[in-house]
């Protein structure tokens, strides 16, 4: 707890508030005030999201009830559109993916392929494969690039075994529901997403 009349600096030292430079006080007070506002907005946004999920799932339950059945819960993507066709709410289910030990077997098989192809292999292919297995800044393998290797049309038995190993290595850690809002001015226009993150607002 910081005593009244003092401020704590980044090194953990207590500094009398009247000894802090006016410009540093101004910046500190601005940051603190904006952070308080950001925390409030985050709570409001979470509440809005949770309320929207609840309302949508309640509506789906009421609709399915009319047909003598029940809504089975959060299983797939859902799209609700306004009567005029200009507003749309989508709930999309997204999987969080990781890779099991089979991925190491895939890497070994791919390395073997590249070694066999070393004399005639396309240099671009080597870059694509090497880049896919590099660890990103967060210390994680690039999931999209690993999965992208399976789209390469390479008719080679060892390569195909490597792709099978990648498929077998996939683990679905969790499924998360995302909610998105889209709108358009006219029914013939393309939908544009309503940004709810501060960077795109």
Q: The pTM is what?
A: 0.61
Greater confidence (68 vs 89) lies with: 89
pLDDT for residue 23 is more than 80: yes
117 burial type by CB count under 10 A (0-12 exposed, 13-18 middle, 19+ buried): middle
Taking the C-alpha atoms of residue 89 and residue 76, their distance in angstroms, rounded to an integer, is 14
- Please indicate whether residue 179 or residue 143 has the higher confidence score (pLDDT): 179
């Amino acid at each position: 707890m910081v005593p009244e009349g003092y401020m704590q600096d980044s090194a953990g030292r207590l500094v009398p508030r009247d000894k802090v430079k006016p410009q540093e006080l101004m910046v500190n007070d601005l940051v603190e005030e904006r952070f308080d506002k950001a925390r409030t907005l985050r709570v409001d946004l979470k509440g809005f999201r949770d309320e929207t999920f609840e309302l949508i799932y309640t509506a789906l339950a009421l609709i399915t009830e009319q047909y003598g059945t029940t809504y089975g819960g959060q299983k797939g993507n859902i799209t609700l559109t306004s009567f005029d066709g200009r507003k749309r709410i989508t709930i999309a289910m997204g999987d969080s993916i990781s890779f099991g030990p089979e991925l190491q077997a895939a890497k070994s098989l791919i390395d073997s392929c590249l070694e066999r192809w070393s004399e005639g292999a396309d240099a671009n292919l080597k870059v694509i494969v090497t880049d896919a297995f590099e660890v990103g800044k967060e210390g994680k393998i690039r999931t999209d690039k690993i999965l992208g290797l399976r789209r390469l049309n390479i008719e080679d038995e060892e390569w195909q075994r490597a792709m099978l190993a990648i498929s077998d290595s996939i683990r679905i850690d969790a499924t998360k529901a995302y909610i998105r809002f889209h709108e358009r001015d006219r029914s013939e226009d393309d939908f544009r997403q309503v940004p709810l993150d501060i960077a795109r607002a």
